[in-house]
Amino acid sequence: MMELDKFADEWGPEKIVHVYDPSTRMKGILVIDNTALGPGKGGIRMTPTVSVEEVFRLARIMTWKCALAELPFGGAKSGIIADPKRITKEEKLGLVRAFALALKPLSPSQYVAAPDINTGEEEMAVYALANGSLNSCTGKPFSMCVRPGVKCGIPHEYGSTAYGVLNAIIVASKHVGLDLKGTRVAIDGFGNVGSSLARFLAGHGVRIVAVSDSKGCIYNPNGLDYEKLMKAKAEKGSVINYEHGQVLSHEEIFELPAEILVPASIPDVINDRNVDRIQAKIVVEAANIPAKYEMEKILHEKGILVVPDIVANAGGVISSYAEYIGENPDKMLEMVSDKISKNTQLILAESAKAKLPPRDIALRIAQERVKKAMEKRETIKRSFSAD
């Protein structure tokens, strides 16, 4: 109860669940924040430092993200406390299998899982098979679609989250009168989202001047070549091995001259140490919770436009919904583009009109939708009680 007391407010969380499996020593956390709109939706991250607070913050983000995208999902998130670098592949999959079995009473009825940091298609296949229901998670391999009518995976190669971020960037650029061709972009993080976004941006003539990963940052004011970045990452383990550029520390990417900054890595990378040094005109949050609200407010007061995570990176959960209802990849990308573009336009226009940070507007809209669903649920409960 102490944990619930720490986070509890009018929205949730409905459940904080700890699970443990003695045979594999799997330690897991699940936070189901709010299910007024549907079962809680959120990925499984596997890191040695994942905590209840981190999982709760991410679950709350999912509550608002699903509401903004007008999806029949609530907010949830989960974590397995482990370091994938220190265990074998078999041990990693064993932890996911144990986690799936432990959550079977809640998934998929109240929780639908998905990939997140250090989990992907293979882990989702293991989760679904251990759970016994293909509806227990999304992000499964396309090969799990074995017959017509079966809900199956949409391969991560389509880059749905990054595609949504691209659409948010296009809308935000038009909003401030910025021509994307030749515009300088810095991308913090070169995982699935960051690398896919670099590919999409390169196709739009954007000049990617800096990219970072856990080893550091590579910077070239004349631009970085996407294919060569991918080769450096694949063959030598890090973007800092890109041949034509200046190697900087990871932190320095936030201070570089670029019109657009895209945090696409871990939480809280924009913080009180670097917020005053950001030179970008636009910050588009491809990662979840890359900055606390106080940091976003500082950027807003400096005249920097921030497109918050609950708007910009909703492509992943929209893709999950497309998979959940059995849509094909083409339809999925259409849904991502339509929803992200529409919501970004709405929120930026309302933000400019009200002179408030975009997150304030996005939260107001999301909260109105969740509150309406909660009130409807309470009305139904009362009617059953009366009977």
Q: Are 96 and 44 in contact (CB under 8 A)?
A: yes
Distance of alpha carbon 196 from alpha carbon 150, whole angstroms: 28
Of residues 147, 380, 169, the one with CA closest to residue 261:
169
10 Å CB burial of residue 129 (0-12, 13-18, 19+) is middle
Q: Which residues contact 309 (CB under 8 A, 6 or more apart)?
A: 61, 65, 285, 286, 287, 288, 289, 290
Identify whether the C-beta of residue 305 lies closer than 8 Å to the C-beta of residue 172. yes
Residue 48 structure tokens? 């040695």
Radius of gyration (C-alpha) of the chain in whole angstroms? 20
Cα dist from 264 to 117, 131, 252, whole Å: 12, 30, 15
Exposure string of 274-301, with b = 16+ CB inside 10 Å and e = fewer, is: bbeebebbbbbbbbbbbbeeebbbbbbe
Active site residue 215: no
- Cα–Cα distance, 30 to 1 (Å, whole number): 15
Q: Which of 45, 44, 14, 46 is nearest to 32 (CA)?
A: 14
Helix runs in 208-328, H state only: 226-236, 293-301, 309-312, 315-324
246-248 and 260-263 beta bridge pairing: unpaired
* Residue among 41, 65, 77, 233 flagged as catalytic: 77
Active-site annotation, residues: 77
